[in-house]
Amino acid sequence: MEEIFRLPIWAWGMFAIGACIGSYLNVVIYRWPREGMSVTTPSRSFCPGCRVEIPWYRNIPLFTWLVQRGKCASCEARISIRYPFVELVTAVLFLGGWIVFVVDRTPASPVAALLVAALSVLLVAIAWIDADLMVVPVDFCWWGMGIGVVGVCIDPTLVTLAGMPDSIRWWEGGARAVAGIAAGWGGLSLVVYLGKKLMGIKRLQFPDAAEWHLREPESEAEQLSFVIKSSQGDPREGGHTDDIYPWGDLFFRDYDRLEIEGHGLRIDGKPVKAKTLVISRETVEAGGKTYSIEELKSLSGKATKVAVPREAMGDGDPPLLGLIGAFIGWQGVAFSLFGACIFAILWALPARVGFGRQLPFGPFLALGGAAWIFGGWSLWEWYFGSLIHLGPVGR
How far apart CA 291 and CA 135 sit, in angstroms, is 27
Task: Indicate the pLDDT class of residue 394, thresholds 50, 70 and 90.
Answer: very low
Q: 95, 20, 91, 22: which is closest to 374 by C-alpha?
A: 95
How far apart CA 258 and CA 285 sit, in angstroms, is 10
What is the pLDDT, as a whole number, of residue 104? 93
What is the pLDDT, as a whole number, of residue 230? 74
Which whole number is the average pLDDT over 95-104?
96
Domain residue extents for the chain: 1-108, 136-198+314-395, 201-309
CB 139 within 8 A of CB 33: no
105-113 long-range CB contacts below 8 Å, 24 or more apart? 106/2, 107/2, 108/2, 108/5, 108/6, 109/155, 109/157, 110/5, 111/151, 111/154, 111/155, 111/157, 112/155, 112/157, 112/158, 113/14
How far apart CA 186 and CA 89 sit, in angstroms, is 30
Q: How far is CA 82 from the centre of its chain?
A: 16
Reported in sequence order, the residue ranges of 117-216 that DSSP labels E, i.e. its strands, are 201-215
**In the predicted structure, residue 161 carries a pLDDT above the cut 50:** yes
How far apart CA 12 and CA 14 sit, in angstroms, is 5
How far apart CA 268 and CA 214 sit, in angstroms, is 11
Coil, helix or strand at residue 373 = helix
CB 320 within 8 A of CB 142: no
pLDDT in tens, 200-244: 688 899 988 999 999 998 876 678 999 998 755 444 444 567 888
Using CA atoms, how far residue 129 sits from 6, 135, 137, 173, 362, in Å, is: 35, 7, 8, 30, 9
Residue at 3: amino acid letter: E
How far apart CA 287 and CA 298 sit, in angstroms, is 17
Q: 137, 186, 134, 177: which is closest to 158 by C-alpha?
A: 177
pLDDT in tens, 22-34: 999 999 998 888 7
Q: 313, 274, 307: which is closest to 290 by C-alpha?
A: 274
Q: Which residue has the higher pLDDT, 114 or 203?
A: 114
Which whole number is the average pLDDT over 22-48?
83
Q: Is 269 left (phi over 0), alpha (psi -120 to 50) or beta?
A: left
Which whole number is the average pLDDT over 259-277?
94
pLDDT in tens, 309-361: 876 667 789 999 999 999 999 999 999 999 999 999 898 887 665 545 567 89
pTM for this predicted structure: 0.79
